[in-house]
Structures are given as structure tokens and as C-alpha cells.
Structure 1
Amino acid sequence: MAFYERIDGERFLATEDTRGPWDAGAQHAGPPAALLGRAVEERAGARPDMRIARITFDILRPVPLGVVSVRVRELRLGRSTEVVEAELEPAGAGQPAVVARALRVRVAGDGVVPAVAEGPRLPPPGSLAPSPFYAVPWERGYHTAMEMRFAEGGFTEPGPGACWMRMRVPLVAGEPVGALDRVLVAADSGNGISAAVDFRRFVFVNSDLTVHLHRHPAGEWVGVQARTSVDPAGIGLADSVLHDEKGPLGRGAQSLFVAPRP
């Protein structure tokens, strides 16, 4: 049980655990985002004194289940910052489905810079009951591979929400789960957690995701505290504060296409 099985250095088999709630043949965007983030961090020659401060994913088309390839290239390498691009391409597609561009920043070292208050914490996940996902017409998918506990709102309650999320399966079978994996698998759920309109009557699809991290994540749980704003023209923004149990650690943002269901 894992989101992916590694075939070789570049290719992975996406399992049923990656399946999203809207299309039985398509992945939720969280697992591909995490796979690209890992590729950026673990590429050959990556400097251990740098970590991702910002990563943006352009979701160009749905990502099907099956074999995908991940490729990384360095756009700029500097003393204190570097920019790295990664692409995820489904087998036989001939073009990428998701393109990521990451800014990595050199870590100065603990205690070098004074800490600044990060904002209020969410209630700890241990104090909350598990939250069911809304009805999905297939048994296995992202909705079963993730454990969820709402601190505010719910999937079927329109409006702002806050949800703790934890991976039940590793990102890649037989490989350790990284802190960045946990954040990126969860961050794409902000628009679902804070749905501003009824998902039974409207679609609200994100074609991108940007994650900023000012602190390295810790622990298994990631909190997504989200709010969605929608213009009458049908353009929306899901804005999320990302947490671990120590407090806020960054932000996520998703641009939304909102329209009545056909």
C-alpha cells in the first residue's frame, strides 16, 4: 500500500491510492505534487544546506493512474538561492501533466536569526475525532489513503475550514516518508476543506498550487486551515495556512475555476 511504486530512477507506477474523488481514472493532485517536491529535494548533487521555501505547481491536465515519469532540471544555482524545475509526464502522453518550479534557500543555521511569532495554533489532532470523507463512488483512493480530523467546518459544510491530515500510506513503496511529502500531499486539499459553494451544484477546480514554507515541518500531521473567495465571474482563490503541531509553518494558494455543474 503506497501512492506510488518505483520502477526506476525516473518512472513510478501510480496506485489506486492516488485516485481523486471526481474521476476514477485520475489522480488527486496531492500525490503528484509530493512526488515532484521529493524529486527536487533529492536530485543528484542537491545541496543539503538548502531547502524549499516556495514551490509552484501548474496543473496542465488531469494526471491519469498508471506509469508516470519525473524529470528535474536546474534553472539557476546560486550561493544562497537556487531555482529548480520538475515535470511529471504520464506514459505515452508526450507532454507533461504537471510542471513545478521551486525556490530553494540556504539555511543559515538554528539560532542565527531570532524567531518571530507564527500565529495561533489549531487544536491538536489528538483532541479531535476522525472525520469521514464525503461519499465517493469507489472504495480505494486518496480519501482512504489519508486520515482526516476537522477542527473547523467539514467537507459538506460550505465556508472556511481547518482539517488535520495524515498519510496512511507512504509516498513511494518501501521508502521513508519525508516531511515535505506530508505537506505537499495535503496542501492541495485547501479548496475542498473550505468549499465556498455546494460541490453538488458547482465545480471548483484548481489549475495550480503554490506552497510557501517559512519553517521545516515536523511530525506526521499537517493542518490545512483554509478559506475560499469567489468572484461572481467564476474565478476563485483558496488560501490556506499550513500547520504542524508546533504551529503555522507556511501557506498554500490555489487559483480556482468555479462554474455550475453541467
Structure 2
Amino acid sequence: MHEAFYLPDPADPRRFVSTELTRGPWSPDAQHAGPPSALLGHVIERCDPRPGFQVGRVAVEILGPVPLVPLTADARVVRPGRSVELIEATLSTDRGPVLRANAWRFKLADPDLELPAQFLPSGSRPGPEQTPEPERFPSTQPVGFHTGIEYRFAAGSFSEPGPAVCWIRLKYPIVAGTTPSPLERTLAASDSGNGVSSVLDWNSYLFINTDLTVTLHRQPAGEWVCLDAVTHPQPHGIGLAESALFDEKGPLGRSTQTLFLGPR
């Protein structure tokens, strides 16, 4: 069994070998977008790191299917600043880029700002320990992203079309030899919003996201990330999936995905 979603290449620190744990449900030869999005988070956080700064938003453009091949990661600060800076990152195969991301990194307040408590984000969802054991993931692949995560539905299910509340936890590191950061965990989980809240039959329709935007007003605590997800389809074939993000302490932020909808 593989020890992580990606294995670092000892000969090239920019190169990562994709394992079978990255495989998605659509094709045995293509990755789920969660692991490569999390890999982008991995390299973004290691791009000229600055103490007292934190990533607040990551926007990922999915340029096409991501094959199960080694990926080369590049990241650079394209807009430096004293309080806010913009980082650009790409993942490429030998044939060219497959994912591209922009991330805003913010300077944290020190000391904390004094804000009215009634305006701070609040609320909760039933925790992962309060939810039933999960049903079987709808995939014919014996190994893939679905076997590299643990998921628990607090509301809805894969077999029940419509909105859902689902907790997701990584079973393995994104990169072997490292501990997944809160950002990596959130990016890996957030790409499942359109899957857990699907409104169309998996066997008859495609509902593939072309992008993933995650905005965090707080870093998640613990290993579990919760998606309170809903999909908005349209007859003309464009849809939107959006998720309110939570951990066991409360709200974290939001994620959105633009969807291509079509018959198989």
C-alpha cells in the first residue's frame, strides 16, 4: 500500500510521483482534483514563507484531466507586499501545465483585533463521531482518492441526490514524509463538494468542475473538514457547487466550483 498521495523525487525537489491514491472516480487513468489541489497548497505554503502570514484564499484552475504521472510543481511570489502578497503556482506533466493556482497570503494581526463578538462567524454541524458509518463510495476502482480518505455524512449521502453535510479526513499525507497542513486538508476535502451534493445520476451524467476556489477566514483545527454542500444545476449545462466549510469548532470559510454538466 502506498504511504502517501505523492512521493517526492529525491533527484528533483520540484517533482512529485503520483500514487494510485490520487485516482478519481471518472477514469482509472486520471486523478481526483482534490490531491493535486492539496499539492498546490503544499508548494504555495513553502514558497518564500514569511512568519506571521497565512494563506486566506486559493483559486485553482483545472486545465484538463490530471494523469497518474509524475508532476512538476513551481511556485513564485508575483505580487509582494508588506501586508498582502499574491503567489502563483502550477503543476505540470512532461506535456505541460495541468493545474494553475493563485493564492493570497495575508499578514496576521498582532495583537488580535478587538471585534464585536456578535459579528464573528459561529455555528456548528454534527461532528464526525456523531454520524453513522459511511456507505460504499460509488467507484469501481479498488484504490483511489476514496480509499485515501475517511468520510462521514451528517446529512445526505452519495445515493441521495441533493444537499449534503459531509466530514472528510485524510488517511495519508499529501506528500510522503510530511504532515498535512490545515490548508492541504481543506483543499483536498473541498474539491468533493460537487460529489457529495450531486443532483444528477452518476451513471448517466457528468458533473465535472473546471475550478476550485477556497476562501478561509480561519485555519481548520484537527484532522476533519466538514462540507455543508449544495449543487445548483442549470438545463443549459453549467452548474455551481458551493460549500460552507467547518471544523469541530465552527465555520472556516467557503468553497465554490464551476461545473460542466452533460450526458455520459
Could you say whether these structures have the same fold, taking a TM-score greater than 0.5 normalized by the shorter chain as the test?
yes
Give the distance between the partners of 1:178 and 1:16, measured in 2 at CA.
21
Using the TM superposition, give the Cα deviation of residue 110 of structure 1 relative to its aligned residue in structure 2, in angstroms.
Answer: 5.4
2:110 corresponds to 1:109: yes
Distance (Å, rounded) in 2 between the aligned partners of 1:111 and 1:117: 13
Distance in 1 separating the partners of 2:126 and 2:51: 33
- Could you list the runs of 4 or more consecutive aligned residues of structure 1 that deviate by over 3 angstroms after TM superposition? none
- 1:111 and 1:32 mapped to 2: Cα distance? 33
- AA partner of residue 51 (structure 2): P
Q: 1:2: which partner in 2?
A: 4
Higher alpha-carbon deviation: 32-41 or 111-120: 111-120
Alignment match, 2:179: 176
The answer on whether the counterparts of 1:130 and 1:147 sit within 8 Å (CA) in structure 2 is no
Aligned residue pairs total 258
1:30 aligns with 2:34: yes
Amino acid at match of 2:7: E
Quick check: 2:58–2:214 contact (8 Å CA) kept in 1?
yes
Provide the residue aligned with 1:87 in structure 2: 90
Residues 1:161 and 2:164 aligned together: yes
- 1:134–1:156 CA contact under 8 A, matched in 2: no
* Aligned equivalent of 1:42, options 28, 41, 46: 46
Specify the alignment match of 1:17 in structure 2.
Answer: 21
Distance 2:228 2:102 in 1: 24
- Percent identity, please: 47
Determine helix, strand or coil for the equivalent of 2:241.
Answer: strand
Residues 102, 113 of structure 1: alpha-carbon distance in 2 compared, 3 angstrom cutoff: farther
Unpaired segments ≥5 residues, structure 1: none
Is the CA contact 2:23–2:29 (under 8 Å) kept in the aligned structure 1?
Answer: yes
Q: In structure 1, how many angstroms separate the alpha carbons of the residues matched to 2:111 and 2:157?
A: 37
Aligned-pair distance for 1:252? 0.2
Q: Give the match for residue 217 of structure 2.
A: 214
2:99 is aligned with 1:98: yes
- CA RMSD of superposed structures (Å): 1.2
Q: Secondary structure at the match of 1:88?
A: strand
Residues 108-137 of structure 1 show CA distances to partners (whole Å, capped at 9, x for unaligned) of 135324253324211011111231343322
Q: Deviations over 1:45-92 (max 9, x none)?
A: 3212111111100000111112100001211001110001000001x2
Q: TM-score, normalised by structure 1?
A: 0.95
What's the TM-score, normalizing by structure 2? 0.95
**1:53 lines up with 2:56 in the alignment:** yes
Q: Which runs of 5+ in 2 are unaligned?
A: none
Mapped to 2, the partners of 1:113 and 1:26 lie a distance apart of 47
Query: What is the CA–CA distance in structure 2 between the aligned matches of 1:111 and 1:101, rounded to whole Å?
Result: 27
Match of 2:68 among 61, 65, 69: 65
Q: Is the 8 A contact 1:228 1:239 kept in 2?
A: yes
Distance 2:163 2:8 in 1: 37
